[in-house]
Amino acid sequence: MITQCFIALGSNLNSPVQQVQSAVKELAEDRGIVVEKCSSWYLSKPYGPQDQPDFINGVVAIQTELAPLALLDTLQTIEHAHGRTRDQHWGPRTLDLDLLLYGQHTEQCERLSLPHPEMLKRNFVLLPLYELAPELILPGGTALKKFIDQSLNKDIEKLQQY
């Protein structure tokens, strides 16, 4: 079964724009994934420790036949190929790929929570997600646009496309 998914991308190390652009290309090259569209890139302040560079963030919409955990494995393989380490919670990183939504599927297990438990609290996720899918209905039946307001524009800047 083919499922539409949304993946958040972020980077603040080693040429962040190139990191996220390369990750989108790698997703598109995976035979189990079809990239539908990618949001604009956003420059945002770090979430968590502030003694690190600003982040480049965006969201990509994909179609996949991969199961949720298989998709997560693919995302983590791409992160690893980009030199991702998990030294500090919310710390700097070369690449962060978070599975936000897997269709209307909900799941709670040790490795994965769907929908992503923090996505509605992060402007650097909500704004690019809304850009891609303004009419999106979240699992549970709530419209994404309910969570969009002007306060989300604080500490974030939409970049011109590269």
* CA pseudo-torsion sign 49, 51, 52, 58: positive
Q: Which of 31, 73, 86, 96 is catalytic?
A: 96
User: Which residue in the list 54, 93, 122, 155 is annotated as catalytic?
Assistant: 93
* 84 in catalytic set: yes
Alpha helices in the chain (DSSP H): 16-29, 68-81, 123-132
Catalytic one of 30, 31, 84, 155: 84
Clarify whether 54 is annotated catalytic.
no
Q: Which of 30, 98, 111, 122 is catalytic?
A: 98
Buried (b) or exposed (e) across 76-93, using 16+ Cβ within 10 A? eebbeebebeeeeeeebb
Catalytic residue ranges: 84, 93, 96, 98
